[in-house]
Amino acid sequence: MEYRFSDTIDSFKSSAVREILKLTQGKSIISLAGGLPNEQYFPIEAVKDAFNRVFEEGKQVLQYGLTEGYTPLRQSVAKHMERKNIHVGVDDMLITTGSQQAIDLLTRVYIDPGDVILVERPTYLAAIQIFQSHKARIISVECDADGMNLSDLELKIEQYNPKMIYVVPTFSNPAGKAWSVERRLGTLNICKRKNVLILEDDPYGELRFGGGEALPSIFSLDKHPEGCGVVYTSTFSKIVAPALRTGWAIGDPQVIRQMARAKQAADLHSSTMDQQALHQLFQHFDLNAHIDLVRTEYEKRMRQMVDLLHRQDWAGARWIEPKGGMFIWVELPEHIDTEQLLKLAVEEGVAFVPGISFYADEPQRNAMRLNFTHTDYAQMVEGFTRLDRAIQKMLQTV
C-alpha cells in the first residue's frame, strides 16, 4: 500500500517543543521548556469530590451530550466570567476540548487557504501550527512591552487585508507581557473599523501577579454580544487541571453557532464527564480562592527565577519581568542562536524552548522561553547552573 496523504500533512512538521519533550523524557533532564502547571496545586480532592457528585445523579450522566456543551457548565462559566466584566449567555458560548480546539474550530470556519492571519511577534507556537494546518498565510505585527504596535498593525491590515488577528494580550505565551489598556482599545478600534476579527486567547489571564487590578480583556471592551469583533477563548487547564481538557469560546452567537457546527463534524462533543465534574466544582469549591493560591505560588516562583536571572553573567541578557502567567522570555546577546544553545543545554541536562519556535516568519534567534511554574526551587537553581554552563560555552566559542 502506498499512502496518498493530503497536502495538509506538510504543515504537520513535528514542533520543536514536541522534539524537546521527547528528549526530556530522560529522567536526568531538568525541563524549563514545557508549559505545565504545577501538579502540587491541582485540587485533586475537590475534583474527585466533583466526579463523585456527578455519579450520584444517576446513569443518565453517562449519556451523549450537546455539541455546544453541558448547559449548566456554560451557565457556571458565564457566571465566573462576570468578575472579568464579561456578560454572556449560554448561546454565546461553546465548550471545547481545551482552548486549542477553540482556535482550531474558529480557523476552520473563518479561514480559507491563503487568507491572512495577523499575529504578535513572537506568538504562541501551537497557534502557528493550527493556522498553518489550515493553509493560512501568517503575518507578524511588531510588538513592544505594551503590546502590538498600532501603526504597524494598521499598515499590515492595509497591506495584507487579513480576515483575522490572533492575540494573547494578557501574560502572553511566550513573552509573558501584558498589553496596556490603550493598546487593547486601539487594536479593537482598528480591527472593528477594518472588519478584522480578533481571536483573543486568554489561558493565563487569571494568573495575575502583584495583586493589582485585572486588565480588561479586549472582549470586555467591546459591546456584547451581537456584532462583537472578538472571539475570546480560555481554559480550565491552568486554573483547575489539564487532564479535564476543557476550554471554552465566547463570541457573537452567529460565530459560535458556526463553530458548533464544525465541532459537530470534528468530534460531536467534548467529554461530558469532565464538563459535569467542572460544573460540580463550581458549585462546591471556591475556585476563586484556589486561583488566588495558584497565582501567589506562581508569583513566588517567578521572583525566584528573576533573582536567578539577575545573578547570571550572561553578557547583557534582557527580560521583562512578567506580570502574570507561566513564562519568562529571555533575550541573550544577538550572536547566540538558542537553537544551537539548546543542544548544548540538553547535553548539560536542562531544556528550554528556543525563540525560533514562536515566529511565523523572520525569527529572533537569540531568545528563549523559560517556564517557572513546574520546577521546584532546588531544581530551578540546578537548572540555571546547567544552563549557565551551556551559555558560557556558547559565549566562549563565538
Site for its own copies in 234-263 (CB under 8 A): 237, 241-246, 252, 254-255, 258, 261-262
* Residue corresponding to grid cell 539577575: 310
Cell of 66: 450537546
Q: Which of 24, 31, 76, 97 binds its own copies (CB under 8 A)?
A: 97
Least spacing, CB of residue 77 vs its own copies, in Å: 17
Task: Tell me which residues in 145-164 interact with its own copies (CB under 8 A).
Answer: 163
C-alpha distances (whole Å) from 163 to each of 74, 150, 199, 200 are: 28, 17, 11, 14
Q: Which of 84, 208, 269, 279 binds its own copies (CB under 8 A)?
A: 269
Q: Indicate whether 271 belongs to the interface with its own copies (CB under 8 A).
A: yes
Q: Is the dihedral of CA 184, 185, 190, 196 positive or negative?
A: positive
Radius of gyration of the chain (CA): 21
Contact call for residues 356 and 363 (beta carbons, < 8 A): yes
Task: Tell me which residues in 183-212 interact with its own copies (CB under 8 A).
Answer: 192, 195, 197
**Within the chain, where are the H helices?**
16-23, 44-56, 71-81, 98-110, 125-133, 150-160, 181-193, 218-221, 253-266, 272-284, 287-311, 338-348, 377-397
Number of H helices, E strands in the chain: 13, 15
Q: Which of 145, 155, 265, 398 binds its own copies (CB under 8 A)?
A: 265
Task: Tell me which residues in 278-317 interact with its own copies (CB under 8 A).
Answer: none
Nearer to its own copies, 74 or 323 (CB): 74
Least spacing, CB of residue 238 vs its own copies, in Å: 11
Least spacing, CB of residue 192 vs its own copies, in Å: 6
Q: Indicate whether 90 belongs to the interface with its own copies (CB under 8 A).
A: no
Could you give the CA distance from residue 359 to residue 314 in angstroms, rounded to a whole number? 24
Could you give the CA distance from residue 260 to residue 338 in angstroms, rounded to a whole number? 40
Nearer to its own copies, 38 or 340 (CB): 38
Binding track, positions 40-79, relative to its own copies; x by CB under 8 A: x-x-x--xx--xx--x--xxxxxxxx--------------
Least spacing, CB of residue 124 vs its own copies, in Å: 12
